[in-house]
Amino acid sequence: MSPPQRRRRSPKAARQEKPAPPPAGEESGPGRSRELERLYVVTGQASGGDRAELDLVTLIVTCADAPPTAQPEQLALLRLCRAPMSVAEVSAYLNLPFSVVTVLLTELLTAELVQARVPIVRSELPDRSLLEAVMHGLQKL
């Protein structure tokens, strides 16, 4: 018996930095958009009116005491990030979608209550010493 057969594809012209928008017909649900809106109103005009550029593996660290006005979601986040923690982990522990966590984080970054440590992303010329460090780390597993 022989396996089913695939046909190879070629790279498409350079993609935009931004992820593709959701296909037509897929959008935020009513409950979800209301919640986002509520969070968004608090956000105001952070960094050009948009959400901060946050990756799943941007590391977040709390750098100031919570103000008395902090909301419960913010307090929970500030507690979690006393040690550095990725946005993905924050999302998992708070049981909130990544998109909602990025809104919360934009507020906290604007208020300078947390710092973000940007991840290393794949680039045209990957840093070989970085790749070697990862291999070395994996070998110890």
Partner 1 sequence: MDFKSSETVPGPRAEDHLPHTATAAVKIVIVGGFGVGKTTMVGSVSEIRPLTTEETMTQAGIGVDDNYGSDTKTATTVAMDFGRISITEQLVLYLFGTPGQERFWFLWNGLFEGALGAVVLVDTRRLEVSFDVIGRLEERGVPFVVAVNDFPDGPHYPMEDLRAALDLSEEIPMVKCDARRRASSRDVLMTLMRFLHSIAMAQASA
Shortest reach from residue 14's CB to partner 1, in Å: 8
Shortest reach from residue 96's CB to partner 1, in Å: 7
| Pairwise CA distance, residues 109 & 126, whole Å | 29
Please say whether the beta carbons of 62 and 105 come within 8 A. Answer: no
Shortest reach from residue 21's CB to partner 1, in Å: 7
Contacts 24+ apart (CB under 8 A), 31-37: 35/100, 36/99, 36/100, 36/103
Q: Which is nearer to partner 1, 30 or 49 (CB)?
A: 30
Q: Which is nearer to partner 1, 26 or 112 (CB)?
A: 26
Q: Which is nearer to partner 1, 67 or 97 (CB)?
A: 97
